[in-house]
Amino acid sequence: MSGIPIPVEDTSGVSGIDGSGTAHATALLAPNPSPMTLDGTNTWVVGRAETVIVVDPGPDHDAHLRRVADHLAGRRVAAVLLTHGHDDHSGGARKFAEMVGAPVRALDPRHRLGDEGLGDGDVIDLDGLEVRVVGTPGHSSDSLCFWLPEDRAMLTGDTILGRGTTVIAPDGHLADYLRSLDRLRAGAEILAAEALLPGHGPVLADPVGVLDGYIAHRRRRLDQIRQAIRDGAGDARQIVEIVYADVDRALWPAAEMSVAAQLDYLKSL
């Protein structure tokens, strides 16, 4: 469950994502590409020395999980962290955690392995490298981002994608999402963020610019939906046919979900 990619030419290339990242965070691309997961899920390995965390082991895919374990080359996994519980991020978490002898920490207790949870304000120390947890509900109610101060980089899960925009899943809320975007935008500016490390798609430079784009996109879509309703569209499907006319029809079911979330939001105003 992730995004509605805006149709753009993909010049990043799969090999460009795999192995990319920052000084202390490396992406390992899972082989689960689809219109909803873009090139596949990015599993992130974060650390500077002997202790690492693994963020989003991805789907339950043995070869990918083994490859991530091999990449560790003997380093200890302090914890497996989940940006959220959707299966393309969490499906292999328990198996991977057992493989490397680590707990799984997530906001949603159903996805944990071990006693420790994870939530806004938590700080994890990896040999002096800090990972700060930022609560960003919206795409899903359990979405978290992870800020790496030393790299000025934010791991964003599905809250921000490397291409296109994110949908609001049935377990998320647009009002929460808009607040999370505002919070990330303010944080990115104050903290002088230099990179967003998404759950799908390539690393993004210019975090403030990307977040401004996301916020503007949301406002534009809401305006388009208000206009479609004024033009007589009666339900989410009819709105999709008007507002998402330029988007691949394979993505219309996801768009319908997104429109439903926006209609809920407009009704709540």
Footprint of Zn ion on this chain (CB under 5 A)?
Answer: 1, 86, 158
Has 88 been annotated as catalytic? yes
- Least Å distance, CB 158 to Zn ion, is 4
Sign of the C-alpha dihedral computed for residues 156, 158, 159 and 160 taken in this order: positive
Are the beta carbons of 262 and 221 closer than 8 angstroms? yes
The secondary structure of 102-124 as a DSSP string is: --EE-SSGGG-BSS----TT-EE
Quote the tokens at residue 15: 């090999």
For Zn ion, the closer CB: 33 or 71: 33
- Least Å distance, CB 226 to Zn ion, is 27
Angle between helices 62-72 and 93-100 in degrees, nearest 10: 40
For Zn ion, the closer CB: 78 or 160: 160
For Zn ion, the closer CB: 15 or 34: 34
**Angle in degrees, CA 252, 33, 81, rounded to 5:** 105
For Zn ion, the closer CB: 31 or 238: 31
- Which residue number places its CB atom closest to Zn ion? 86
Catalytic residue among 18, 39, 56, 88: 88
60 vs 82: CA distance, rounded Å: 14
- Residue 125 phi, psi (nearest 5): -105, 120
Quote the tokens at residue 214: 């996301």
List of residues 6+ apart from 134 with CB closer than 8 A: 120, 144, 145, 146, 147, 154, 183, 184, 187
- Least Å distance, CB 4 to Zn ion, is 12
- Least Å distance, CB 125 to Zn ion, is 27
For Zn ion, the closer CB: 3 or 47: 3
- Least Å distance, CB 233 to Zn ion, is 27
Burial of 74 per CB tally in 10 Å (0-12, 13-18, 19+): exposed
Question: What amino acid positions are annotated as catalytic residues?
Answer: 88
